[in-house]
Structure 1
Amino acid sequence: MNKQPVALVTGAASGMGKAVMEKFQREGWAVIAIDRSEIPPQPGITPVVADITSYSALRDAVAGALQGSRVSALINAAGIFPVSTLESSNDALYRQIFDVNVLGSVNTAKVASEFISEQGGALLMFASVDAFAVSPGQLLYSASKAAVVSLVKSLAIELVGKKIVVNAIAPGWVETEGTLKSGRIHEGVKAVPMQRAASVGEIADWVWAFSSQPGYITGETLVISGGSYMR
């Protein structure tokens, strides 16, 4: 039996994934932190270098890190958002975005569900407000995140027998290294009714609330956008 609950967190080297990793660590969970980049080891965190686009490599890495423990939650925060338009899109860019954002979601869900606790657990995927309200220059990214929203609904039905709830969050503008570097965030937040972006800490708090205690909600996507999109 696990001494403490275990969370798998992807995209944990930076941004929202890192904030989620640190939130679960502070709450006393053991965290297996997955990224393509090295993550410094620290108490309560087991860093794993793995590519979520490869199911076999991801499964082997997670199995080795778990060492017989079971998973109570998966938070798949890994994702990419390169600019794409009809003119700039090509086969390679399509595969790059969909491999990480969509295939990666399938692979992480498959691995997590295989190692889930006997008591069940929660899978939480990162979608985006762009799945519902598209942005200029995000043709393929928006489509990939809409696919994630659909995957969550299907997985919620498929995995209910394992006592697993599957949900997603759909952030709007968030102050991460990537969004700040692109510079687009400074103009983007002007259209947000709250007139600001979310902090990574705010996102991590919502992730915690939505996935640490799975309950009667499954198949849903929570939009966290400061009012820029309302369903």
Structure 2
Amino acid sequence: MSDTVLVTGAASGMGRTVVERLAGAGWRVLALDRSAEALDALAAEVGPAVVPLVADVVDRAAVTAAVDGLVAGHRLTAVVNCAGIYPPTRLDDYSEDVYRRVFDVNVLGTLNVTAAAVPHLRAAGGGAVVNFASVDAFAVSPGQLLYSASKAAVLSITKSLAIELAPDAIVVNAVAPGWVDTPGNAATGRMAAAAATIPLGRVARPDEIAVWVQRLVEPGYVTGETVVIAGGAAMR
């Protein structure tokens, strides 16, 4: 039996970087995403440590069934909830559909995946959950009305689950990145302007976030905390 980590949003962005780092560190990685084609490409590139898991995080039954099927014969000891969306919204242009999608993916998805994984973490004798929040949960950005609110909810969920799961020796923490040099962020055309507002003068490299995720997937004495990785932007 080998130790396994479940990573959502695995086919792109920060999820992909986390998969690559953890697979390189010797983990068996259940890589969860909606795109079978993208997951197959990821597995072909990274190697046999990556096990594709096709599911939508908003579908709790599908996630549970998929996780149960692929964990069999292995120890699931960590979960990384990377899946998230960040469409720009303001009070004068948000819609109910966008609201529900943002909260379904960013908040409900985090709960669904964690709920599916916890029985396996308990069976392993404990483990770690790492949620992706955002610096926008602390220092909101213009035009990110719903995204900021959803990530503030992730912070609260992280604390609540840390208390709830502590008796099972499961720690729950979060990372809160600021601007990161991912394809999705680059497509906004705003990274250069954002970098000028960051005290360290640049956006983060993806692996600078992933290294903190790697530290947090190893259960320890830290739980209910959020590591802000934003180059000092949250202090502005």
| Bucket of the pairwise TM-score, normalised by the shorter protein | over 0.9
Query: Which residue of 2 is the match for residue 67 of structure 1?
Result: 72
Q: Does 1:27 align with 2:25?
A: yes
Query: Which residue of 2 is the match for residue 9 of structure 1?
Result: 7
Higher deviation after alignment, 87-96 or 115-124: 115-124
> How high is the TM-score relative to the length of structure 1?
0.96
Residue 156 of structure 1: CA displacement?
A: 0.3
SS at match of 2:75: coil
Query: Which residue of 2 is the match for residue 171 of structure 1?
Result: 177
Please give the per-residue CA displacement for 1:90-135, whole angstroms capped at 9, x wherever unaligned: 1101001000000001111111112114321000000000000000
Counting only pairs closer than 5 Å after superposition, residues 183-198 of structure 1 correspond to structure 2 as: 183-198=189-204
Q: Going by fraction, where is helix more abundant, 1 or 2?
A: 2
Residue 219 of structure 1: CA displacement?
A: 0.4
Q: Does 1:148 align with 2:146?
A: no
Amino acid of the residue matched to residue 99 of structure 1? D
Residue 68 of structure 1: CA displacement?
A: 3.4
Residue 179 of structure 1: CA displacement?
A: 0.2
Amino acid of the residue matched to residue 227 of structure 1? G
> How high is the TM-score relative to the length of structure 2?
0.94
Amino acid of the residue matched to residue 229 of structure 1? A
Distance 1:73 1:52 in 2: 17
Distance 1:102 1:149 in 2: 10
Q: Does 1:47 align with 2:47?
A: no
SS at match of 2:199: coil
Q: Tell me the percent identity.
A: 51
69, 86, 109: which is aligned to 1:104? 109
Please give the per-residue CA displacement for 1:30-76, whole angstroms capped at 9, x wherever unaligned: 00000011212331110011000011000111111112323110000
Question: Where does structure 2 lack aligned partners over 5 or more consecutive residues?
Answer: none
Distance 1:67 1:174 in 2: 35
Query: Which residue of 2 is the match for residue 89 of structure 1?
Result: 94
Distance 1:76 1:109 in 2: 8
Aligned residues: 228
Amino acid of the residue matched to residue 84 of structure 1? T
User: Residue 9 of structure 2 contacts residue 32 of structure 2 at CA under 8 Å; is this kept in 1?
Assistant: yes
Amino acid of the residue matched to residue 75 of structure 2? R
Query: Which residue of 1 is the match for residue 222 of structure 2?
Result: 217
